[in-house]
Structure 1
């Protein structure tokens, strides 16, 4: 998510079940069917998905969709309804929530952190619950994702500050170097706006050097 172009508009979808509690295999199969329909209807689109339980234990998928103009939620609900075993008219009309996202990157940053939170999820109820749902997230049509260009950013540090930061990073990355030898420079590649990533490194630096 952090690698996406922060200026790209996107849709935030929620795919739900109303009455039918699917198994992990059934839930993933429904998402696969939706992905195939989605790719045919929106050949230039793509999305990142995340699986999580609702409070009542039913699974639902959150999708962050790129390359697709605003779509009537009713049409998406009908599309999703065809991919599930739901039979209710309510699900056909309101099985999908749609939000239009226009942001300078705050939403992507939030979702990157949100998608990374796994936690201990409980799907189903005490009588019938999932032992393990498999993958919690994935990508559809990865080749269409709007990756940002690599950005250049420079920060000049004092020698002792640079040495402390480089030593700490090499240690956290479990890189073995001879005692007393510290590389004179360190290059960190990042996509899009690198400020958040590099600011976090500088915060670590301030902790190291006091």
Structure 2
């Protein structure tokens, strides 16, 4: 069943809201319970994100595609899997959802609803980590089997939290939302532009690899 664009946009907004609430909320809870052990906090953050992603993709995948990520939508447009006219509406829904998810997480833990993060994330290694994280995620989405996508994406992101130096944001909407909560999962606004550029580069790299694979498979 093909849903109307407004329905798909609502699903993208709501899915992104719940994803960012999961990421930020679990980051806050992890710090609260870990007694200063960052490894335990990251593990809690990872597990919640993995489980949350799996459920959200299962719920919303058949409605709006469960992108929750402007780079995912952009790559789908570049590969002509989605009309270009839907790119900006999808991005707007994702960014709105990400911001609302941060506000909701702040509210649940009695933090100020509207504030910005102070967690500086910068450096060539961190930016390279975001390129790798995003390229890997997009390759999973583009080349993976559709009926296994929820498990594939959740498993990849869980792994990438630990093997990338950036802890795998891999999503400009996630960067945007995580600017608005000064938590373990937060990112200072000044660090955000470089992350988004790195993610865009990762998406383009994934497109290039996918094109090469498809040419070889059809040759």
TM bracket (short chain): under 0.3
> TM-score normalized by structure 1?
0.25
Q: Which has the higher strand share?
A: 1
* Structure of greater Rg: 1
> TM-score normalized by structure 2?
0.25
